[in-house]
Amino acid sequence: MTGLFADPAINEAGKGLFYGNPSQFFIQILAFTFTIAYVSLISMLIFVLIRLFVGLRVDRNDELIGLDESLHGEKAYSLHI
């Protein structure tokens, strides 16, 4: 919101859109757009690398038994069904 509300009475170097400087607002929009694109790209890259090297799911049998018991050898909850 700096691009909108930057008040020259508080900081002489900065003016926002509401104080007659639309370029600051567009700089903020550009930075926001770049940040979203960068985070999306890096997150997708991390997702693909994890899927290639580690995998996204455990074995079906481990999932049915429960991850606490199959991976750690202990029961988290003692439920009697």
- 46 or 12: which carries more pLDDT confidence? 46
pLDDT one-digit tens code per residue, 34-46: 999 999 999 999 9
> Is 79 a domain residue?
no
Q: Is the pLDDT of residue 49 over 90?
A: yes
Range of the domain at 54: 2-72
> Is 80 a domain residue?
no
Distance CA 63, CA 56 (A): 12
The pTM for the full model equals 0.61
Question: Which among 42, 41, 16 has a CA at the least distance from the CA of 29?
Answer: 16
> Is 78 a domain residue?
no
Q: How many domains does the chain have?
A: 1
